[in-house]
Amino acid sequence: MRKRELKNIEWSLLIVAMILSVIGLVALFSATQETQYDEFNKQCVWLVISLVIMVIIMLVDYELLIKISPIFYGIFLILLLAVLFTTPVNGATSWFDIGAFSFQPGEFAKIFVILFLALIITKIQKKGEKEINRPTRLLILLAILGLPVLLIIKQPDYGTAAAFIIAIAMMLITAGIDKKYIIITAILIAIAVPLLYNFVLPEHAKKRIDIFLNPESDPRGAGYNIIQSKLAIGAGGLTGMGFLKGNQTQLGFLYPKTTDFIFAVIGEEMGFIVAGAVIILYVFLVTKCLYIAKTAKNEIGALVASGITGIFLFHMLENIGMVMGLLPITGVPLPFISYGGSSLITNFICIGILLNISSKRQKTIFVK
């Protein structure tokens, strides 16, 4: 990597990711005392592996990654199909168990779907500025997105599926999709939501929505986790109950405290000040992602950065929202903070790609 490229890199993005990772490790250390810090130790290993992979991604031209994305898109479609035949874990067939570790293909698939979609959108745009707004072109993009999304829904993992949809929405907006499609989509969603709820969603998914609307209706059953989460965050107050001193965290009332509800651990033991700082860091992260999209040297880089922005934005809003009772629980991890090797590696690959794009950018802001 040349000196000019190193100077162009948006290092603040990496700094924020590392700060969030450290906060996550502190919270995991507190949340894993009863398991002899098993998940904490594994997360430390995954963090080192993630950083090594991130550096490799930084050194490989992102346009090369985009060119080979169709191959990896096909590989992960096969993996998403194969994972459906594994033994369910908590009712979902989302993981391949490899010894003491597990591998979640849905997490990695997000990266290669974004890269592949960026490649196809760019090819469509080369034929004319308005090509992206042709219904046949949009159907091609929706088909590329639809295959992995349907397989992920089959697992079932509605949170990850929703992340894909937000990512392509950001990419299409960047590509200049006509506003009429946005309006039509909003209308279709408004019509589809009650139909999906009444005729399509399985009972467990309906239960999550019902509990989101009224968790006190089943305080010892389906509403238990969210009630405990809100109690934990509320008990933290301004400065928290103290490291290793959270009642809900240490007495086992909060579950699963290392993944879905890790933000509740932070809120309880570190308080509003640290929890608020985490939210500010995520806002900064998303803002920098958008800035990289605007300053990318070409449209394909802008599309990839926009897709990754959508992934980070959705995960941040959904996880923190569900922990606070503002959104339904979907099992979406909090980027860089929740326990999970697949999630952590995926997040740092995304950071590596963004740093790669920023290193190649021009001084002037990217304009379509």
pLDDT tens column, 12-37: 999 999 999 999 999 999 999 888 89
**Which residue from 192, 275, 210 is spatially nearest to 241, judged by alpha carbons?**
275
Show the domain range for 254. Answer: 3-359
Asked whether residue 368 is assigned to any structural domain, the reply reads no
- Residue 99's pLDDT is 72
Asked whether residue 367 is assigned to any structural domain, the reply reads no
Asked whether residue 366 is assigned to any structural domain, the reply reads no
DSSP 8-class letter at 255: T
> Which residue stretches of the chain are H helix?
3-8, 11-31, 38-59, 62-67, 69-82, 105-126, 135-154, 158-175, 179-199, 203-213, 224-236, 247-250, 262-295, 299-323, 341-359
47 touches 344 (CB < 8 A): yes
Q: How far apart are CA 156 and CA 176, in angstroms?
A: 32
- Residue 53's pLDDT is 97
| Chain-centroid distance, C-alpha 303 | 17
- Name the residue with tokens 């000196």: 3
Asked whether residue 323 is assigned to any structural domain, the reply reads yes
**Which residue from 111, 120, 135, 104 is spatially nearest to 62, judged by alpha carbons?**
111
- Residue 346's pLDDT is 96
Task: Using CB atoms within 10 Å of the CB of residue 272, give its burial: 0 to 12 exposed, 13 to 18 middle, 19+ buried.
Answer: middle
Q: How far apart are CA 65 and CA 308, in angstroms?
A: 14
Asked whether residue 51 is assigned to any structural domain, the reply reads yes
Q: Which pTM value belongs to this model?
A: 0.92
- Residue 1's pLDDT is 62
322 touches 330 (CB < 8 A): yes
Phi then psi for residue 160, to 5 deg, are -65, -40
Residue numbers in the chain where pLDDT is lower than 70? 1, 100, 129, 362-368
Asked whether residue 299 is assigned to any structural domain, the reply reads yes
133 touches 178 (CB < 8 A): yes
Asked whether residue 364 is assigned to any structural domain, the reply reads no
- Residue 142's pLDDT is 92
Asked whether residue 365 is assigned to any structural domain, the reply reads no
> What is the total count of domains within the chain?
1
- Residue 362's pLDDT is 67
**Which residue from 6, 5, 10 is spatially nearest to 285, judged by alpha carbons?**
10
Q: How far apart are CA 61 and CA 63, in angstroms?
A: 5
Strands 101-103 vs 96-98: parallel, antiparallel or unpaired? antiparallel
